[in-house]
Structures are given as C-alpha cells and as structure tokens.
Amino acid sequence: MTKQKFDPAKIDFGLDSFGDIPLSASGQLLSQAAAIRQVVAEGVLADELGLKVIALGEHHRADYAISSPDVVLAALAARTKQITLASGVTVLSSDDPVRVYERFATLAALSNSRAEVVLGRGSFLESFPLYGYDLRDYDLLFEDKLSLFAELLKERPVTWSGKTRSSLKQMDVFPKTEQALPVRIAVGGTPASVVRTAKYGFPLTLAIIGGRAERFLPYVQLYQRAADQYQQPIQPLAVHSHGLIAATDDEAKELAWKYLRESFVKVGQERGWAPMGQEQFNFEINEGSFYVGSPETVAQRLARTIKQLGVSRFELAYGAGGLPAAQRMKLIELYAQQVVPRVRELLAEEE
C-alpha cells in the first residue's frame, strides 16, 4: 500500500467557510453583509494564530453569504501576512476560465503569491440557472473549461477551442504571476473526478462530508495509480471535513446538533433526504466525518484520519448553520492553539 510520505511537523491546517450566516449574541441572524465581514475577521484571526490556509466557498443561496470568494480573499490579502487564501470551491463549470485566472492572478499579486484556486464541480447547483447554464451539461462544462484553465495556467499565449465557450487564438491573459498560481481540485466521491485530477497533475482535495474517512483510501490509491499512468507527479493530498470544537465534548455535541446537523437537515430537505437522526449523528461524530468535541477528542480523531489517508493538509469546515459568531471565534482559537499542536504531538508519538 503506497501512502504519501508525511512529516507531522509539515502538515498544514486550515479552515474552510461557505460564509454561513452566524447568529449574533442576541440570537438574531446577522445580515449577509455582516456575515462576510465576520469571515474577514476570522481570516485575520486564523492568520495571527498561524493557521496555514483559509478557503472560502462560492455559493448563491440565502444561507451562505459568499458568492464572490476572491473579493473577500482580496480583503484578507490586505490584512493578513502568511495564510494561503484559497477558494473552496470555485465552480468552474458556471464561470469563465479566463476570468477565474484573471481574478486569482490579481489576488496573487495583492497577497504576494498567497492565492490558490480550488476548482470543483460544486455540490450546490444554483450557479447554473443563475449564469444561464444547463445542468445537463454538468460534466461537459467542467471538463471543457478545465482543459482551457490548464492552458491558461502556463501563462503563455493560448490557442484553444472547445464546446462551452468561444475559442482563443494566440490570446494572452494578465496579470502574470510572480510564482505559478497553485491549483487544486476538490472531489466528493466520483471516481472519474479523481482520475481527471491526476491526469492534469493537480493536487487532490477530498471533501469528506459523511461516513468513515478510511473509505476514501482507495481513492487516494486511485489518484496515485492514475498519476503514475499519466506520468504526472503525485501531489500532496488535502482533506476537507466539517467540525465543531468547544471547551467540552458535551458543549461541542450540543452545538453541532443545533447548528451543523441543522444545516445538513435543511439542505437534505431540499433534496428529498430524510433528516439526519440521532444515531447517524452519533455515528458521524464517533466514527464518521464530523470532527466534533473538545480539543483532545477532535485531535485524536484528526490524527487518525491524517495518518490513515496520508493527508498533507487538513481543512476544517467550521461554522456550519447559524453557529454564533463568538463561538466561531472560540472554535478557531481552540483549533489553532490546542488541536493543531496536539495532532502534531500525536502523530510524532506514533512515528
């Protein structure tokens, strides 16, 4: 079994947000505008506390405030020093690869090369009707636009033709970056997406939002096998999962039930899924992909996942549902100051 080599001291820890709307101290939902400013404050805190990545998702829905992650990241570029500023994900299928390149190359300039584009097909689909795309072209749009995006990343004049946008003939795009723009592809569980990521030589982010993390080990192997076959490098693996950290296990569970579960129930309802029951919730917390508990509990579970899959970067999706702003800040502090050092310690012990 091949695993990626990893050094516990070198694993990067980050945060992911979709721009969920938090509750204020008095229990009112913040406005979407305030929710965006809250994320900026959180990014600043994460940077100060030494977290390595903040990734902001693109959504076009009432329950998530961020539709333009690159603009929010630009604000963060001005106020942070070291943290990588990533999208999570940019829905390339309903975007224009040229504009995606331009926006993130601009972000790279503003942040001294801390920009990162994370591409994905996205699990929410509002952007399709919004921008005038047909959902039935879901696969075609991603595949076609990815092929153009890969060309643009070479930062040389591009000649390209495809099926989903006008052709380019020796066209150049600007600004040029100082260091090549880093790109990742985030996948949910579609094996063909894993293969495609390896084929392009991009690093893979596994979005593990339910079930046991080790179920994804075959996907890691598939990525490696595909990279070999396409003679591409095996790039470091990132994993994204939901979490909720509080002072005690009980407090974290209570908050997770109230907010994290609730956000799953809400989305599930739209899709015809039965609401998550207590048993399933407990399974996700104890064995599955909700990293919920005190710093020690979360650190133990994270260390296990990181080791099992050979993860180089872990991104904790925080603040799902209406988790109040104060608790979100607290969560980030506990994660950076207690969970991260403890995970490194646990991994070093096991070496």
Ligand X SMILES: NC(=O)c1ccc[n+]([C@@H]2O[C@H](COP(=O)([O-])OP(=O)(O)OC[C@H]3O[C@@H](n4cnc5c(N)ncnc54)[C@H](OP(=O)(O)O)[C@@H]3O)[C@@H](O)[C@H]2O)c1
138 contact, one of other proteins, ligand X, none, CB 5-8 Å limit per kind:
other proteins
In the complex, least distance from residue 160 CB atom to ligand X, rounded to whole angstroms: 23
Identify the bridge partners of residue 55 per DSSP, sorted by sequence position: 16, 86
Closest separation in Å from C-beta 191 to ligand X: 8
Closest contact distance (angstroms) between CB of 183 and ligand X is: 22
The gap from C-alpha 346 to its chain's centroid, in whole angstroms, comes to 24
Q: The tokens 């009112």 sit on which residue?
A: 28
Between 114 and 121, CB nearer to ligand X:
121
Contacts of 122 by beta carbon, 8 Å cutoff, 6+ apart: 58, 89, 91, 93
Residues 265-304, mask of contacts with ligand X (x by CB under 6 A) = ----------------------------------------
Between CA 77 and CA 62 the distance in angstroms is: 26
Instruction: Compare residues 225 and 342 and give the one whose CB is closer to other proteins.
Output: 225
Two structure tokens written together for 78: 């001005």
CA 84, 40, 19, 107: dihedral to nearest 10 degrees?
Answer: -40
> Which residues would be at the binding site for other proteins (CB under 8 A)?
125, 135-136, 138, 188-192, 195, 210-212, 215, 218, 221-222, 225-226, 229, 268, 271-274, 277, 279-280, 283, 287-288
Minimum CB separation from ligand X for residue 284, in Å? 15
Q: What is the 3-state secondary structure (H, E, C) of 229-244?
A: HCCCCCCCCEEEEEEE
- Distance CA(127)–CA(299), nearest Å, equals 36
Our finding on whether 192 is near ligand X (CB under 6 A) is yes
Closest distance of CB 268 from ligand X, Å = 12
- Binding of residue 190 to ligand X (CB under 6 A): yes
CB-based contact 255:328 (threshold 8 Å): no
* 112 in Cβ contact with 45 (< 8 Å): no
Residues 172, 158: contact at Cβ < 8 Å? yes
Cβ closer to ligand X: 242 or 328? 242
From ligand X, other proteins, none, which one binds at residue 195 (CB under 5 to 8 Å depending on kind)? other proteins
Count the neighbouring beta carbons within 10 Å of the beta carbon of residue 257: 18
For other proteins, which is the closer residue by CB, 60 or 344? 60
Residue 207 Cβ vs other proteins, minimum distance, rounded to whole Å = 12
Binding partner of residue 233 among ligand X, other proteins, none, CB under 5 to 8 Å per kind?
A: none
Q: Residues in the site for ligand X, rule: CB under 6 A?
A: 190, 192
